[in-house]
Structure 1
Amino acid sequence: MTDRATFTPRRAVLTLGVTQTIGYACSTYLPATLAKPMAADVGMSTSGVFLAFSAALLLQAVTGPRIGKLVDHRGGRLPLTAASLLFAAGLVGLAIAQTPAVLIAAWFVIGFGMSAGLYDIAFAGLVGWFGADARRSITGVTLIAGFASTIGWPLTAWLEHQVGWRGACLAWAALNLLIALPLHLSLPRAPAPKPEPAADAVPVSDAAVPGDLSKMILMATAFAVLAAIGSAMSAHLPPLLGALGVSPAAAVGAAALVGPAQVAARLAEFALVRRIHPLVSGRVAVSLFPIGAVLLIALGGVAAAPFTILYGAGNGLFTIVRGALPLALFGSRNYGRRLGVLNVPARLLQALSPFVFALMIDRSANLALAVMAAGSVLAFGALMLLRRPADGT
């Protein structure tokens, strides 16, 4: 365990960047590659596997505020460490599943791991350690973890080809135990003493500040839409491109561009972090998906690469916004619990969207894209209605 006094932002970024990459690759990005062989092997439909995955995601909505409050008081080490163990246990459960019931139960274990170990908890941990200065660290973690899809999809596909889907699950379980778990155990046990609010932050107390509710509703709306899109794309991007006539190899290749696009957008944000408000970043982020969707609908498979690049850049930016915007508008006090509450609608839609999107793709890939693009327009409107406290823009 690292002493809090020697725990630097750089070390935090490197540690959590690696563990978040493993966490997302072995959970959120797993079904896109392994759902079909899983379903065939245990005797259930592919949509049934996605339904189990959606139910696992739903646990984040139920547990998010409580785990966020725990991080506010006790730091991020405990839930993040527990997540590594839960991921490993759930992945082993998938690997040994012979019936749908066991497979579903294993996904629920992974769901508890996602609740305790993905971005929201990592962000809350960073705010606990570094206070109002955590935005740069949040961006840094997402820079590294932006490669989760680039690593996860091809590596899982390669493992499935080499050792089968069960062997792929066991390999990811081993990575959690051998890499993520020791790294999480090296984190400080407790957060730093509560810092003074930043000079430009809106004061926040346990009581609601006038205007907080409307800000929370607008922010939660944007968060929910982007979470639904991100969840659907994470689970279905290669199959979506395939439904539009892209070959399997080209679909995986185009999907692999998401990671570099996310990282490129985050590098730009990192360079401008002290010059640009996260609200501006959010507005830019949500505008990119509908542009890419229109291109893909109009041009078909030839626009696969531009679409994935635009989606990746927007998703990469918005991941930072999810952590930085509440910090900028409300300050660091009660950050973990506030982020958990803000993301309850997001987690509900995130849980439903892979299953619903699968049904829409079966009917019409263009319809699925159009619905997601319309949601992005709604999110853009919500962010346009939000105002920065300093200058009202």
Structure 2
Amino acid sequence: MSNLTRLPGIFGIFLLGMLQVLVWGGSFFLMAVMADPIMKETGWASQWVYGALSLSILVSAVLAPLISRLIARYGGRLVLASSGLGVAIGLFMMANATSLPFFLLAWAVIGIGMALGLYEALFATLGSLYGERAGAAITGITLISGFATTLSWPAVALLIEYVGWRSTCLAYGLMLVLTVAPLYIWVLPGGSVSLTKKDALYDENLSINQRVYWLLTMIFALGAVIMTAISVQLISLLQGQGYSLAAAIGFSALLGPSQVGSRVLQVFSRKRHPIWTTLISVVFVAIGLLIVTIAPATTALGLVLYGAGNGLRAIVRGLLPLTLMSPTHYVLLMGRMARPSLIGQALTPLAGGYFLQAWGAGSVLAGLSSLAVLNVILVLFLLQLVRKQHHHPSR
């Protein structure tokens, strides 16, 4: 198989995007609509039910570097194909959970499926197959997967209303078993095209610019923490700013369209170096959060800017390391770089809930704004390093 293996066509990219929608919807985003009926039926405390999601993210964080190494050595098609079965087994266990420990175990299994099938594994697979040419596919896939909550939340909520949450878990798991593996095997070629076996086995210890590596890791981790905090607590934060529940929900609805809109614009800006997309992303996030914090009367504008910046974040996670690393490093390090982000995401709901109760909405928003400004500074440092590398390339 040659390095000139063709990228998936438009239909293939659409299918890869929809597969991401399915796996995200059955794992990371599931609890948003399923937690309430679970708590009502079982009587389990909310911290345990939501804590199950944190557990699954931690499991995913622990496994992420191992998954990257497996993809580098053996290719990612079978890894991605197995993700549907992993999440499905967890959902089947969840449907039959009558005790809290077994429920938590089910979510630990779902965490294994998340490690096998979410963005990091997919990006590493595309990098191993297509090298730098993977950028076009990553942009298209993230555009489609941006509709994950828009599609999965209403569908899951409707199923819960008619058949209950346990039968919904069974139905969703069955759908994953029937669709994920066959479609991944059909769309993606086998093997690891851009990496030779020798590369995959021995190139892990080759030198890489440590400042670039750590800056990327910190930038992605801060972005993940901010995104998780806003996703979990935005409505409560806006209510703390004086808005009614209806107004807070209305403002929150602005995020989806602005995120997808910024990804559509990115499709037409592929020739721009991803460092500039990264800078635009973090600046929009910072300005948006500062507006919401300092000028609540213009919250709508702030959330549109934040949404646009956060929409670019998913693309940047795939594209920026792809341009700053060799294909071998990209595949091997995607999982390792993801670990701090995932750990941060797992801990953010717990920490955010504590700070919101102890300090209030204004202080939490100010803290998130400070993290966003710090991320702008880190990206500016990275921009300087990228410019130096271009002017004085190593080797």
When normalised by structure 1's length, the TM-score is: 0.87
Q: Which residue of 1 aligns with 2:18?
A: 18
Give SS of 1:8's match.
Answer: coil
Shift of 1:251: 4.7
Shift of 1:17: 0.3
Rate the CA distance shift 1:34–1:296 in 2: closer, same or farther, 3 A: farther
Q: Which residue of 2 aligns with 1:264?
A: 261
Give SS of 1:272's match.
Answer: coil
Matched, 1:361 2:359: no
Equivalent in 295, 305, 308 of residue 310 of structure 1 = 305
Tell me the alpha carbon deviations over residues 148-195 of structure 1, each in whole angstroms, 9 at most, x when there is no partner: 122233333343444433344334323323333331232445235337
Rate the CA distance shift 1:287–1:170 in 2: closer, same or farther, 3 A: farther
Shift of 1:327: 1.0
Shift of 1:96: 2.5
> How many angstroms apart in 2 are the aligned matches of 1:309 and 1:146?
15
Equivalent in 356, 367, 372 of residue 371 of structure 1 = 367
Q: Which residue of 2 aligns with 1:209?
A: 207
Q: Contact (CA 8 Å) 1:47, 1:358: kept in 2 or not? A: no
> How many angstroms apart in 2 are the aligned matches of 1:260 and 1:342?
28
- Over aligned residue pairs, what C-alpha RMSD do you find? 2.8
Higher relative contact order (CA 8 A, sep 6+): 1
What is the correspondence of 1:1-393 to structure 2 with a 5 Å cutoff?
Answer: 8-188=8-188, 190-194=190-194, 206-209=204-207, 212-238=209-235, 240-241=237-238, 251-274=248-271, 276-298=272-294, 300=296, 305-363=300-358, 364-386=360-382, 387-388=385-386, 389-391=389-391
Q: Contact (CA 8 Å) 1:28, 1:235: kept in 2 or not? A: no
Q: How many residue pairs were aligned?
A: 380
Shift of 1:287: 1.9
The letter for the 2-side match of 1:373 is S
Give SS of 2:328's match.
Answer: coil
Shift of 1:235: 3.8
Shift of 1:220: 0.7
The letter for the 1-side match of 2:219 is A
> How many angstroms apart in 2 are the aligned matches of 1:37 and 1:138?
35
Shift of 1:391: 4.3
> How many angstroms apart in 1 are the aligned matches of 2:260 and 2:366?
26
> How many angstroms apart in 2 are the aligned matches of 1:21 and 1:94?
20
Shift of 1:91: 1.9
Give SS of 2:390's match.
Answer: coil
Rate the CA distance shift 1:241–1:35 in 2: closer, same or farther, 3 A: farther
Q: Contact (CA 8 Å) 1:32, 1:239: kept in 2 or not? A: no
Q: Contact (CA 8 Å) 1:76, 1:122: kept in 2 or not? A: yes
> How many angstroms apart in 1 are the aligned matches of 2:175 and 2:299?
31
The letter for the 2-side match of 1:61 is A
Q: Which runs of 5+ in 2 are unaligned?
A: 197-201
Give SS of 1:186's match.
Answer: helix
> How many angstroms apart in 2 are the aligned matches of 1:148 and 1:247?
27
Rate the CA distance shift 1:361–1:328 in 2: closer, same or farther, 3 A: same
Give SS of 2:16's match.
Answer: helix
The letter for the 1-side match of 2:14 is L
Give SS of 1:334's match.
Answer: helix
> How many angstroms apart in 2 are the aligned matches of 1:213 and 1:134?
24
> How many angstroms apart in 2 are the aligned matches of 1:359 and 1:160?
30
Of all paired residues, the percent bearing the same amino acid is: 33
